[in-house]
A and B are shown apart, each in its own frame.
Chain A
Amino acid sequence: MVASRKTYAKTLFRLIRGNFGRFAAIFGIVALGVGFFAGMLATTPDMLASVDAYYDSQRTADIYVKATMGITQEDIEAVSAMDVVESVMPAYVTDVLAYTEQEKPLAVRVYGLPLEDMGETGAGTFLNRLELVEGRMPEAENECLAHGLGMFGNGIKLGTVLTVSPEHRSIENLGDVYHVNEFTVVGIVTSPFYFSWEREPTNVGNGTLDAVIYVDESAYALDVYTDLYLTVRGAGDLTAFTDEYEDKVKEVAERLKDLGEVRSDIRYQNILAEAQAEIDKAKAEYYDAKAEAEAELADAWTEIEKGRAELEDARRQIEEGKAELEDAKAKLAAEKANALEEIERGREELAGALSELLDGERKLKEAEQQLEDGWREYRSGYDEYREGLRQMQEAQAAFDQGEKEYQKSLREWELAGELIKQQEEQLAIAESHLKEYEAQYEEQFAEFEHQKKQFDALMDYVLSALAGYGTPFDSEEELFARMEVDPAVSAAVTSVLNAVGAQMSADDLRAGWQEITEAEAGLDRFAAMIDQGWSEWHEGRIRLEQAKAQHAAGKVQLDAVAVELEKGRQQLAAGWAQIYSARSALNDAHRQLEEGQAELEKARRELDDGWKEYYDGQAKLAEAEAKLAEEVAKAEEEIRSAEAELAEAEAEYAEGLRKLAEGEAEYWKAKADVEKELADAWQEILDAEASLSEIARPKWYVFDRSFNVSYSSFSVNAEKIEAIAKVFPAFFFFVATLVALTTMARMVEEDRTQLGTLKALGYSTGAIMSRYVVYSGLASVLGCVVGSFLGFKVLPKVIWGVYSTVYRLPPMITDFRWGLAALSSGLALLCTMGATVSACTSSLREKPASLMRPRPPKAGKRVFLEKVPVIWSRLTFSQKATARNLVRYKRNFFMTVIGIAGCTALLVTGFGIRDSIGDLVTAQFNEITKYDLYIGLDSSSGDDPVVEGFLADPSRVAGYVKFFADSGYVSADGERIEVNIMVPLDAQELPKVVTLRDRKSGKGISFDDSSVVLTEKTAANLGLRVGDVLTLENSDGVSKEFVLSGIAEYYAGSYVFIGRTAYAEEFKEEPSCNVLLVRTHIAGKDQEDEALSTLLSSDAVLVAQFMSQIRESLDTVLNSINMIVVVLLVSSGALAAIVLYNLININIEERKRELATLKVLGFHGEEVAAYIFREITILTVIGTLLGFVLGILLHGFVIRTVETPQLMFGREVAPLSFVMAGGLTFAFSFLVQVAMAPRIWRIRMVDSMKAVE
């Protein structure tokens, strides 16, 4: 068993982990539902308990008593002696006008309390304990604490000084009330008595309190207390605001009222006795006063005589003074003339100096001009010199160049001479050589001639010999050529030769011939060579001659150049001499000019010195003049003051004379007055004795906390929340049921096979089911715990926060309320468990065998849209699938539509509440009530000058209507509602200040002297329709019946408007004007306050109130409503998120396979997501539309709950609010889709291949 428990826990844990999204969804919706329900229900008790704790800790009085004639020590003792009274604290309370540094006075309530007894929180005798938030406690009687938060304390801070104004209609003498008239704020406090932002009414100033201050009781001069605070024994243990508490306090209050009657009688007797004592005292005073007055009159006469003598003395002194003054005047005139003369002299001297100076200036100017000219000349001379110098330098350079060239040419010429000489020598050598060659030639030629002759002879022989032989040859050449080819010839020749005896052969002959021929040629060549040498020699000779001629010419040229050069040298020397002399001249001029300059500067300095002297003189003169003027003025002033003194003395004298006369007159008058006063006083005493019987009887007014504005408004507001708390969470529970149902059904579906297996194994249905019950139960229980914890802690605080805008609230006490937690958790568990069981049973009813088979897929369902092929064929597959899915999964459909509808409805309600209050403000104050000022008059006082004056001022008043107003009750069918009766004295005038119209049609309701028109809310509460009979009871308790002639749209207040005749006929009483409804031109707080101050200064004005004050407080409420809208926004967002998250979760799980298949088929991520999200979007649309309807209903409910019998809110939700509610719903839906989209993208395509489960 143990093991199985462990396994069970393990599988359960796995189940949760594996299905965490669902777990979270159930958890979330349960937490939301429980949190909202428990939190809303706990809010009211928490709020009341917190304020109660605050009351207890500050020892807040349960009851306070105000006595018209004050509360005496005996009264206090009598109250303390009551067994039901726990503790008692008397106090002084007065409302006054007080000035601060600001212009206008503030209406201030001044509490005189035993501040030193304040003590600690929750202890001591001090009631309505103050809490110091800033500053310190007062230490002197002119110091005070100020209520510093909420509507009070505007402009009042530490250090503010409040000066009590003596203008007060019921206090004749401030000194009778306060010892001190100025109070300095030294501390800022809060009080349990004033924690509402709503202002307290008062009868001073503009009708509402501007400040509350607390002073020590010692600052009060009153001899009796005005108020008495007390706590009821045992009331502290009860929670304030509850019926038990209020009943208990009421009982004590009744007993106090009874006591008040008794004490008032005693007080009356005492006052009477006091008055008699006072009269007796007055009589004694009268006699004293009479004696005193007579003595005083005698003294006065003596004084008059004394004054007369003093005046004579004064007259004499004045005469003396006048003579002295004349002397002083004459002396002053003489001295002044002397001084002026001297000054005039000085002035003349200065004039002479000035003309000299000007002369000097002129001369200096001329000299400067001359010097300037000299400089100019010098500069032009210098420029010329520079030009000459430059030219000279150029000439010198040119000359040097020429000379250099001449020297060069000369050297070249000499060189040429050398060359000529050398050539001459060479020519001579050549000539001698040539002659030598000619000699050699002659010698060689001779030798040759000889040999030639011998050979020629031999040859001739040979030739002739040969010719003899028959072989003639013409020439040797022919022979030798024949010899070459014909040896016979050679032989012949040889033989010839031999014959001759010449020891030589033919060949020798030929050789000889050749030698001769060669020698001849050689000689010819030699001769040619010699001829050549001669011709060259001649040429050289000619060239030499030419060079010689040129050389000679060059010499002539050079000499000419040399002459020119010499001439140039002389000219240059002369030029240089000129230049040097010019330079020295320039230097001289420069020196002179500089000397001139120095002189000029010296002259300038001298002149400047002259000028300085001149100006010094002038300054001295001016000084002398000023001094003179000052002295004269002083003297004259003295004279004047002496004159003034004299005049004063004369005036005083005259005054003295006048006073004396007056004094005498006064004396006579006083004497007469005193006598008359004494007579009057005596008469008064006689009157007072007579009026003792007319003294008003004192009265006690007993108030419990419900008369305190803070207590009563907080109580009403806190209770409204409870009413709303009961309807809002219903949604959440409904949706929680659906969430659990859909989720668990899906889960059981997924585990189908397993269920079958378990069932087949023999597990009982209960055992199997327990798993799911525990799963969803665990989620729900966790949701309950977290939800109730958050609900108890968060929601009350949020609403507390909302109320903090209109109340200054103590820290909130949030209790964990077990009862409420159990109630809400029980409801939530009932919903989810019921859903779980119902989801399980349908599956578990099947046989195990069928369970183990996958559930046959549900056939798709055809939808009506398919019958419209025009549309159907245009839809894409996913649109078609969506259309069918919506019909197929009904649970999902309802869960989502209701969740979304709830979300939208909450938003519509939230925005609608704002609209309603906005309507109230706009319709009531812009359209229905057209007056801005309500004035309540004391009808017995008749026409009042202040009011008449105000109404007659066209700059302030545009128009007004007179009413007779009364309060009373309307009743019909046993219901009785308090109502204000308004009777316009002129029925035709009514539309000027109030529009009576039907709300739905907007049509006006006619009103005449016999009409009876009831405001809408009251009529609805009583179930009255036009034509019905209603019973009206006036404040005197007289009841009369009327026929209702109209029902008018009206939001703020409950009214019956009755025509004058109708009223008068029924009540037998002619209505008189006691209320004025005024349309004014007054705008702005300052103007309003001014007007109110004016009006309230009149005794005839009981109430004066501007509508803008009411409007302002409604605007504050409107702002706090925004906070509620935020709460609704957040919770509706959470609701939408959970529902949509759950739906998407289920859809994804259910269609994982389809989605994976689509991915395999190549659908893109966004197309796959659209398959799921299109459905969500359509469901969101349907849900939103349904939500609009639900929202209108819910809004109507809330508005009716929040309304008081006196107040009607607008019933319409503005179109913009629907737009915003729908828009936000879509935004939530879109956000959830965006958040969930990755879940779809993460689906793996492999899942498409898995077997069907």
Chain B
Amino acid sequence: MKDFVVFHDVCKHYQMGTHTIKAVDHVSFSVDEGEFCVIVGPSGAGKTTVLNLLGGMDSCDSGRIFLGGRDISALSDRELTDYRRYDVGFVFQFYNLVQNLTALENVELATEICKDAYDPKEVLAMVGLSDRMYNFPAELSGGEQQRVAIARALAKNPKILLCDEPTGALDFATGRSILKLLHETCKKTGKTVFVITHNQAITRMADRVIHLRSGTVANMYRNPSPEPPEAIEW
């Protein structure tokens, strides 16, 4: 589907005392279904705000946001919760696993509340953790924890996968393997994947690249020839 995710003239302002911060200022872009999209920009460019808006964690002041043709900028809090529940898979920089649950249980915690979720064990096998699924997060390495997090996001069978600096807390090699996993997932399952990062290097593997600067879209383009993740270095 073309124009699967659409930002149309979206603004989000924050009031800081007497000062208004335009976190996102008239941002417009659109992404097709199944694309591997990288949103890149320096700190304060509005990446997190875009992520929050796209992830249904916040609502915009003006403009429209569509996902698969549905206007999500006009949803109530309750509807936003359901949106996050059924349509969005979220991968955090710091994994955000529940320490008190095993890898498998962490995945189950997400699938438990979904309608047509994948089998948690299969998903864990897919991310290469079939023999570590009964371990607690504290017993796993950072990369493994992030794989659990990806499995948790994926198992919900969401429409989009939002990854906030997924490699931020990982070393280069592990980070690259995570990117590879995300890329493979994108291509294998046909899910639209957003990677939000400040790392310019990652743009080289993207189907679509959105450059943000000071709350505006500085540049947006389709990458005619994405490189495989293995080729990327930083």
Contacts and interface: CB of A to CB of B under 8 A. Distances in A.
Contact of B137 (A857, A885, A1160): A857
Contacts of B85: 1161-1163
Contacts of A860: 99-102, 136-138
B112 A1249 contact: no
Interface string B81-99: 1111110101011101011
Contact of A877 (B82, B88, B108): B108
Contact of A1251 (B84, B94, B105): B94
Contacts of B55: 1160
Contacts of B52: 1245-1246
Interface in B187-231: none
B232 interface: no
Contacts of A1245: 52, 57
A1162 B92 contact: no
B107 to A, nearest CB: 10
B164 A1249 contact: yes
B28 interface: no
B64 to A, nearest CB: 22
Contacts, number: 85
B174 interface: no
B101 A1157 contact: no
Contacts of A857: 99, 137-138
B52 to A, nearest CB: 7
B109 interface: yes
B105 A877 contact: yes
| Count class of interface residues, chain A | 20 to 34
B148 to A, nearest CB: 13
A1162 B78 CA distance: 10
A449 B90 CA distance: 142
A1157 B100 contact: no
Contacts of A1165: 81
Contacts of B9: none
B177 interface: no
A858 B99 contact: yes
Contact of A1161 (B90, B105, B139): B90
Contact of A1160 (B48, B84, B101, B139): B84
Most A CB within 10 A of own CB, among B52, B86, B136: B136
A1248 B165 CA distance: 13
B100 to A, nearest CB: 4
Nearest to B165: A1249
Contacts of A699: none
Contacts of B108: 877
A1165 B96 CA distance: 19
A856 interface: yes
B222 to A, nearest CB: 29
A966 B57 CA distance: 88
Interface string A1142-1163: 0000000000011001011111
B160 interface: no
Interface in B125-172: 136-139, 152, 164
Nearest to A1156: B96
Interface in A817-870: 856-860
Nearest to B56: A1162
B138 A859 contact: yes
Interface in B105-126: 105-106, 108-110, 112-113
Contacts of A880: 101, 105
B113 A1163 contact: yes
A856 B96 CA distance: 14
A320 B19 CA distance: 137
Contact of A885 (B48, B93, B100, B109): B100
Most B CB within 10 A of own CB, among A876, A877, A1165, A1250: A877
Contacts of B92: 1157, 1248-1249
Interface in A177-211: none
A59 B93 CA distance: 83
Interface in A749-785: none
A397 interface: no
A166 B31 CA distance: 116
Contact of A856 (B82, B90, B94, B138): B138
A308 interface: no
A877 B112 contact: yes
A1153 B137 CA distance: 15
A1164 interface: yes
A294 B94 CA distance: 135
A858 B88 contact: no
Interface string A874-890: 00111011001100100
Given A859-B139, A1162-B86, 6 more contacts: A857-B138, A877-B105, A881-B100, A1154-B98, A1162-B81, A1246-B52
9 contacts: A860-B100, A860-B137, A877-B101, A878-B109, A880-B101, A1161-B84, A1161-B109, A1245-B57, A1250-B94
